[in-house]
Amino acid sequence: MELLGFDDCVDILGLNFLEFVHGISETQLHQEIKTKDFVKDKEIKLRKKNGELLDVLFSAVPQTEDGGRHVGFEATIKDITLRKAMEQQLLRADKLASLGQLSAGVAHEINNPLGLILGYTQLLLKDTKKGTQMWEDLKVIEKHAINCKKIVEDLLKFSRSTQTTKARYELNKLLAEVVEVVETNFQLDNVKVVKRFSPDLPPITVDPDKMRQVFMNLLMNAKQAMEDGGTITVSTSYDSNKDLITISIKDTGIGIRPEIIHKIFDPFFTTKPTGMGTGLGLSVSYGIVKDHEGEIQVDSTPGKGSTFKIILPVQNERKLGEE
């Protein structure tokens, strides 16, 4: 009852349990229980009263009357949402490490010849009359060489384990600095940024440059999700009981489809058109937040928008400062 979000058993009386099952039809699950005589530790998803999804292990046996007529089933469910989340984090960490090594090798191999192509193209441009067909062709080569060089730089940033330089910082101030940089440009595209900063945030030890990179990535993604304009709400809060700071970046964009939301932190995964992104922004952000012993979460509804939350612990940082 509590697992599904109900406070009183009266609220759940008369409801069909199978209505809460997500991703598999009621008929299919019911038929499986009847056919096999039992179902043991089947991984399914349940949708709670508030719409949140849970990963559970489902075991059931059919209940029959004396005449053998099937009248229902008796079942047990075990919440494994936390376990599944930890498994996903471990898989993602392994993938990041493997792809990081691959990316470093590829980037180094093509970086030098790419630099030569760009350098010689720019030398030729200096000796070519502007407006001629040769000049136009060279500009095309230069443009695409610069784009390739940016991709290589992103690969190197992704693969390189740079030293983290942490210092005591006010996160509200850090966020305000990043918002100030993008706000004017966003307004030109009819995107409004709303700031809702909690005044009681304690200082926290972070690498300001890396956290700026995370905030910038999330803000740019939010803006790009709203082609016709919209609102980005940037908020902060502090949970004194858990000693956690939460930074939330919410947009009113197109949202993320449920079938791909688990892939968005994977390296090179992107929903943007070719040439619009490398698919490394969220992967790099994920790594930076993990390096700060934090979590990055996403909640999205297609057609309504997405909310990214960064949760950072304060307690460990305070201990660091007290030592």
- Amino acid 158: pLDDT: 58
Query: Do residue 176 and residue 69 come from a single domain?
Result: no
DSSP 273-322: PTTS--S-HHHHHHHHHHHTT-EEEEEEETTTEEEEEEEEESHHHHHHHH
pLDDT band at 48 (very low <50, low <70, confident <90, very high): confident
State the amino acid at position 65 in one-letter form: E
Q: Give the whole-number percent of the chain exceeding pLDDT 70.
A: 77
Tell me what percent of the residues of the chain surpass a pLDDT of 90: 30
CA atoms of 134 and 128, how far apart (whole Å): 7
Residues, the chain: 323
Domain assignment present for residue 200? The answer is yes
Answer yes or no: is 181 within a domain. yes
Give the residue from 41, 60, 79 where a domain finishes: 79
Mean pLDDT (the chain) is: 81
pLDDT at 320: 41
Structural domain boundaries, residue 91? 84-159
Indicate whether this model's pTM tops 0.85: no
Q: 55 and 177 share a domain? A: no
Q: Confirm whether 305 is domain-assigned.
A: yes
Q: What pLDDT, on a 0 to 100 scale, did the predictor assign at position 30?
A: 72
The verdict on residue 2 lying in a domain is: no
If asked whether residues 174 and 308 sit together in one domain, one would say: yes
Mean pLDDT across the stretch 285-311? 91
Domain shared by 54 and 105, yes or no: no
Check whether residue 155 and residue 195 sit in a common domain.
no
| Residue 3 falls inside a structural domain | no
* Claim to verify: residue 222 and residue 302 sit in the same structural domain: yes
pLDDT band at 175; cut points 50, 70, 90: very high
Do 131 and 200 reside in the same domain of the chain?
no
Q: Residue 8: which pLDDT band, with cuts at 50, 70 and 90? A: low
Q: What is the pLDDT of residues 111-164, one digit of tens each?
A: 778 888 989 999 999 999 998 999 999 999 998 888 887 777 766 665 555 566
What's the pLDDT at 318?
A: 41
Q: Is 176 a domain residue? A: yes
- Tell me, yes or no, whether 4 lies in a domain: no
Query: Residue 44 corresponds to which tokens in the numbers above?
Result: 């399914």
Using alpha carbons, list the distances in angstroms from residue 161 to 100, 156, 239: 9, 9, 31
Q: Any idea what the CATH number is for the domain that residue 98 is in?
A: 1.10.287
Number of domains in the chain: 3
**What CATH number has the domain bearing residue 255?**
3.30.565.10
Q: Indicate if the pLDDT at residue 91 is higher than 80.
A: no
pLDDT in tens, 15-37: 767 777 777 776 777 777 777 77
Which pair of structure tokens corresponds to residue 184?
């004017």
- Output 6 or 300, whichever has higher pLDDT: 300
The pLDDT value recorded for residue 321 is: 43
For residues 99 and 74, state if they share a domain: no
CATH number at residue 60: 3.30.450.20
Last residue of a domain, one of 118, 142, 159: 159
From the centroid of its chain, how far is CA 113? 34
Q: Residues 270, 209: one domain?
A: yes
Rg from Cα positions in the chain = 26
Indicate whether 245 and 290 sit together in one domain: yes
Residues 186 and 121 reside in one and the same domain: no
Query: Of 78 and 250, which is predicted with more confidence?
Result: 250
Residue 125 lies in a domain: yes
Which of 109, 143, 159 lies at the terminal end of a domain, its last residue? 159
Residues 52 and 101 in one domain: no
Which ranges constitute the DSSP H helices of the chain?
A: 9-12, 26-36, 81-126, 133-159, 171-188, 208-224, 281-291, 315-322
